[in-house]
Amino acid sequence: MAESVYTEDSIRSLDWKEHIRTRPGMYIGKLGDGSSYDDGIYVLLKEVIDNSIDEHMMGFGKTIDVRITEGKVSIRDYGRGIPLGKVVDCVSKINTGGKYDSGAFQKSVGLNGVGTKAVNALSNAFSVTSIREGKQKQAEFSQGELTKDHRVAKSTEENGTCIEFVPDDTVFRNYKYIMEYVESMIWNYVYLNAGLTIKLNGKKFVSKNGLLDLLQNKTRAEAARYPIIHLKGEDIEVALTHGEHYGEEYYSFVNGQHTTQGGTHQSAFREAVVKTLRDHFGKDFDASDVRTAIVAAIAVRVQEPVFESQTKTKLGSLNIAPDGPTMRTFIGDFLRKELDNFLHRNTDVAEALLKRIQQSERERKDMAGIRKLANQRAKKAAVHNRKLRDCRMHFSDNKGDDDKKLASTLFITEGDSASGSITKARDVETQAVFSLRGKPLNSFGMKKKVVYENEEFNLLQHALNIEEGIEGLRYNNIVIATDADVDGMHIRLLILTFFLQFFPDIVRGGHLYILETPLFRVRNKQTTKYCYDEREKQAALEELGAKAEITRFKGLGEISPDEFGGFIGQDIRLEPVMLNDQTQIKELLKYYMGKNTPERQEFIIENLRIEADKAAAELLAAAKEEDAHV
């Protein structure tokens, strides 16, 4: 092996934009293509909106306009506007901004002076315009380089700041904004900021009742066991109820920032709820019985918050303020007083809450024997089969670089041939494979005990490490990889039913995806193209010639491991499984997976007719185009 040379010439100093572009993960987490809610393009959007939110929190600007069209983003607020002499510095000089002045910004989320600089450096085109007192200043950049520094000019527009950017497509490959993710982000902003209106492509988002509105929308899917408890205090707001679902569901926020990975405030809340209810009812409940089926939201305002990364998805602060009480003490004292008082005043709610806890207790005890036997079978089965081809790095292992964090993936496949191809092609560091045997059970309407009684479900649960909840989830991405035929689609629906029925938190947490693989391979002697739909196939034929060879992939096992490596590598195409606020899981599963209903038959017939009409129209258009060419 050649000896490495380490001299003075090996030492490099990068300027701010080079560093961001070389190590983007340090600033925005994982890059991604937009298929996951925490991909980089959403972090860019959030970093700019956060600044507008901070202006609103300081009492300036009641409206924010957001527009996203074909990858271009425009965000206009009506705050004070950046001081005109500092416009260029604020978006291009690292560690520069108003957030270091505690008098100008208090309890804001953007404290590091990095956010807009990262957006600037990672955008092909970036423009900032500030309007203050009848004057405006504009500057334009490309990949962090100043391309045009406009002079200060007169303006008749309202005060505020407008930032426009186009993400760099060499950094964010094949990216697209999924509007459901963007709308969810916008809703969270308005829930947390009373009096704020955000317009997204002209659609208004506003909330009058804060976290009460959030939980009413989130629990519309599951019947709440009692009216939502809504409590507000200085620097804290809480809403909670219990439903009929499995697991726990939390929405936590710090200074208007959605902390999707929780943190010290969420942990303190979970602990305080258990202690408060134990004390109120005078019973030493098991913590899991108190928290099973809970749906809760908590928002706190923290001075100088410390997050575990620049993306601010997990709070690390131990105290509510540098010289204030600990997070545990602050949240614990609030709930011990306010929640306890509420339950004393609302005895009907207290009674319904107690019954829900007692129901969870009975179910847990009934499951104890089943779980013990199932665990013994699972350990025995693990010795005798290779259903799981594990990877080396897991979700819980990734405590280092944000670029590597949350990278582990589990592919759920059907049959030996498909699992064999993926296993040979995968990255053994971060990609694991779980092989199903035959079609899974249709679990719609069944109780949780079926997860332990059914060997396939029990082994899958153990592979994911979700028996005690998704806090122990071993893989950030769970990818359903089934054949693109009728059987494959059926198996996909059965797996989706399993997760929605028993582990909806995995779906709500943005962990579940569908793997998209090409339907066609089109090639001539020089070039091979993989096509994911009929349109891409026709485009490939036009490019390669009508005599090109066409292969239709009927199953994943027909794709060679060498080819598969390209489909699950850097250019992997994933379709996220999402639930919006209006999704009613029980009704959704009943419609698609319940006993055959006339409504479902009509749906299938109508959609077959639509697809047939669409196919006929495409064939007619192609024939006309061919005639014109001839």
Position 167 pLDDT exceeds 90? yes
As a whole number, mean pLDDT of residues 331-344 equals: 95
Which is higher by pLDDT, 484 or 476? Answer: 476
pLDDT in tens, 425-439: 898 999 999 988 878
Query: Which tokens sit at 46?
Result: 């959030």
Query: Which tokens sit at 20?
Result: 């961001």
Any idea where the domains of the chain sit in the sequence? 16-205, 211-365, 385-517+553-593, 597-630
Query: d(Cα 408, Cα 404) in Å, to the nearest integer?
Result: 9
> What per-residue confidence (pLDDT) applies to 357?
94
pLDDT in tens, 44-93: 999 899 889 888 888 898 999 999 998 899 999 999 999 998 889 888 88
Which range, of 163-172, 567-576, 607-616, averages the lowest pLDDT?
Answer: 607-616
Domain 385-517+553-593 coded CATH 3.40.50.670: yes
CATH no. of 16-205: 3.30.565.10
* Closest to 215 (Cα-Cα) out of 194, 240, 197, 235: 240
Report the relative pairing of strands 431-436 and 512-516 from DSSP bridges.
Answer: unpaired
Position 119 pLDDT exceeds 80? yes
DSSP conformational letter for 307: B
Structure confidence at residue 563 as a pLDDT band (50, 70, 90): confident
Find the length of the chain: 630
> What per-residue confidence (pLDDT) applies to 3?
62
- Mean pLDDT of all residues belonging to the chain: 83
* Closest to 328 (Cα-Cα) out of 309, 315, 344: 315
> What per-residue confidence (pLDDT) applies to 509?
82
248: how many CB neighbours lie within 10 A of its CB?
A: 18
Structure confidence at residue 260 as a pLDDT band (50, 70, 90): confident
> What per-residue confidence (pLDDT) applies to 554?
75
Q: What percent of the chain has pLDDT over 70?
A: 84
pLDDT in tens, 283-337: 999 999 999 889 999 999 888 788 776 566 788 878 888 888 898 999 999 999 9
> What per-residue confidence (pLDDT) applies to 612?
59
Which is higher by pLDDT, 224 or 251? Answer: 251
Which is higher by pLDDT, 2 or 240? Answer: 240
As a whole number, mean pLDDT of residues 258-278 equals: 91
Position 126 pLDDT exceeds 70? yes
> What per-residue confidence (pLDDT) applies to 8?
61
> What per-residue confidence (pLDDT) applies to 230?
96
pLDDT in tens, 366-411: 877 777 666 666 555 554 456 888 888 887 544 443 433 347 999 9
As a whole number, mean pLDDT of residues 201-229 equals: 86
Position 215 pLDDT exceeds 60? yes
> What per-residue confidence (pLDDT) applies to 282?
95
Structure confidence at residue 220 as a pLDDT band (50, 70, 90): low
> What per-residue confidence (pLDDT) applies to 328?
92
Give this prediction's pTM: 0.76
What Rg do the C-alpha atoms of the chain give, in angstroms?
27
The 3-state DSSP class for residue 552 equals strand
- Calculate the alpha carbon distances from 287 to 138, 231, 262, 284, 329 in Å: 56, 22, 18, 9, 19
Query: d(Cα 82, Cα 129) in Å, to the nearest integer?
Result: 9
> What per-residue confidence (pLDDT) applies to 573?
86
The dihedral built from the CA positions of residue 351, 353, 356 and 361, taken in this order, carries a sign that is negative
CATH class, 211-365 region: alpha beta
pLDDT in tens, 90-117: 888 875 554 444 444 455 555 445 688 9
Cβ–Cβ < 8 Å for 236, 282: no
